[in-house]
């Protein structure tokens, strides 16, 4: 059944086009409850360039957005970090004090342009 679901999702969603198809079988995501639920217009917005995806092993904030390990920069007003399962622990590990004190029980913090995250911090996925 997992192969059927994987075939359907790769046929229905433009995952490869946007570099979002995982390198591992989809059933691993289901087993660990990591399968994403997408908003209705997610890929249409991505096709229009309103949502951009960048794979980077390391990134950090600079005064106007994000800088990647290949020295490219992306200006951003808002950065949403999708840390996956147990996000609060992951955010506590990368946010310097006093910012991790702003996290509430759900792991959500009202972060807006906190440019003091240290260079070389890493999160597995980030929406900008």
pLDDT single digits (tens) 52-90 = 777 777 788 888 888 888 888 988 877 766 655 566 677
State whether 72 and 21 are in the same domain.
no
How many Å apart are CA 5 and CA 2, to the nearest integer?
Answer: 5
Residues 78, 103, single domain; the answer is: yes
For residue 82, give its domain range: 59-127
d(CA 118, CA 103): 18
118 and 64 in a single domain? The answer is yes
In a domain, 53, yes or no: no
Domain annotation covers residue 52:
no
pLDDT-derived band of residue 114, with 50, 70 and 90 as boundaries?
A: very low
Write the pLDDT tens digit of every residue in 28-51.
665 555 556 677 888 888 889 888
26 shares its domain with 68? no
Phi, psi of 57 (to 5 degrees): -75, -30
Q: What distance in Å separates the CA atoms of residue 76 and residue 11, rounded to the nearest whole number?
A: 32
Domain total of the chain = 2
Mapping DSSP to helix (H, G, I), strand (E, B) and coil, where does residue 122 land? coil
CB 22 within 8 A of CB 9: no
pTM: 0.49
């Amino acid at each position: 059944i997992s192969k059927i679901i994987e075939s359907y999702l790769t046929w229905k969603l433009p995952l490869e086009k946007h570099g979002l198809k995982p390198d591992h079988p989809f059933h691993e995501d289901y087993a660990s409850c990591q399968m994403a639920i997408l908003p209705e217009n997610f890929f249409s917005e991505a096709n229009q360039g309103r949502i951009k995806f960048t794979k980077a092993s390391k990134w950090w904030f600079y005064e106007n957005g994000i800088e990647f390990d290949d020295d490219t920069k992306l200006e951003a007003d808002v950065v949403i970090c999708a840390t996956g399962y147990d996000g609060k622990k992951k955010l506590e590990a990368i946010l310097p004090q006093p910012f991790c004190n702003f996290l509430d029980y759900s792991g959500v913090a009202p972060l807006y342009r906190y440019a003091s995250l240290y260079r070389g911090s890493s999160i597995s996925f980030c929406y900008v």
